[in-house]
Amino acid sequence: MIKGVLFDLDDTLYDSSSFADRARREAIKMMIDAGLNATEEEAYNILQRIIKQKGSNYNRHFDDLVKAIMGHYEPKIITMGIITYHNVKFALLRPYPDTIKTLIALKKMGLKLGVITDGITIKQWEKLIRLGIVDFFDEVVTSEEFGLGKPNIEFFEYGIKKMGLNPDEAVYVGDRVDRDIIPANKVGMCAIRILKGKYKDVEGGECAYEVNNLLEVVGIVKNLKG
């Protein structure tokens, strides 16, 4: 008997990777205007390499970019990049067109809803608040709060327990095979993969359900509830 649905956040409930990418491109243009001595493509490629090396939660991407290109620290250029990145990201931030419809439909079915997300607690809550969807969720758990992130199955078990559910009573929805679908299945949840974001073309045959849009989750959960 399905009693709840747990969601990943970034790229599952809203478009994270393409907005971040557009914000980074705008930031680079502004940094070049402020004196960064590179072409857009050069700077973009270096930035991508830094993000890959240091992870997306590292908070000195632009510092490293300026050092890599200029050979020294240039606070004005770095700050122009950071301000522009945040301004553009906030300007673009919105749920997928069917996110709120999906959450309403699931709530109407009497289901508990939750979020299990990697990231800094305040940053992830900020996204939920700015997206206008925070009040749909009974529980939100973050890797920072738990001390261990995906794909550790203990993190998923912690989230399910906080919801007051057993694994077989919960459906998990996420975009990544390696960090969402596989560990959710290991824990004993039914998992639905949403084909969005930068990992949408990654191969992975383990997932029983794949959807192109969030609203399809409603039909699957209805069938699972029986």
Which DSSP symbol is given to 109? T
Q: To 10 degrees, the CA torsion angle through 166, 11, 63, 125?
A: -50
Residue count at the site for its own copies (CB under 8 A)?
17
- Least distance CB 210 / its own copies (angstroms): 31
Judged by CB under 8 A, which of 121, 152, 166, 213 binds its own copies? 121
- The residue range among 20-28, 75-83, 180-188, 197-205 that interacts with its own copies, by the rule CB under 8 A, is 75-83
Closest CA to 20 of 63, 69, 65, 84: 84
Q: Is residue 83 near its own copies by the rule CB under 8 A?
A: yes
Closest CA to 98 of 209, 211, 223: 211
Q: Is residue 1 near its own copies by the rule CB under 8 A?
A: no
- The residue range among 14-22, 140-148, 149-157, 216-224 that interacts with its own copies, by the rule CB under 8 A, is 140-148
Q: Is residue 126 near its own copies by the rule CB under 8 A?
A: yes
Q: How far is CA 37 from CA 69, 92, 170, 224, in A?
A: 7, 28, 52, 56
Strand partners, 7: 115, 173
Judged by CB under 8 A, which of 140, 171, 187, 220 binds its own copies? 140
Q: Is residue 122 near its own copies by the rule CB under 8 A?
A: yes
- Least distance CB 80 / its own copies (angstroms): 7
State both tokens at 187: 């824990």
Count the alpha carbons within 13 Å of 52 in the hemisphere toward its beta carbon.
6
Q: Is residue 138 near its own copies by the rule CB under 8 A?
A: no
Residues in contact with its own copies by CB under 8 A are 75-76, 78-80, 82-83, 121-122, 125-126, 129-130, 134, 140, 142, 145
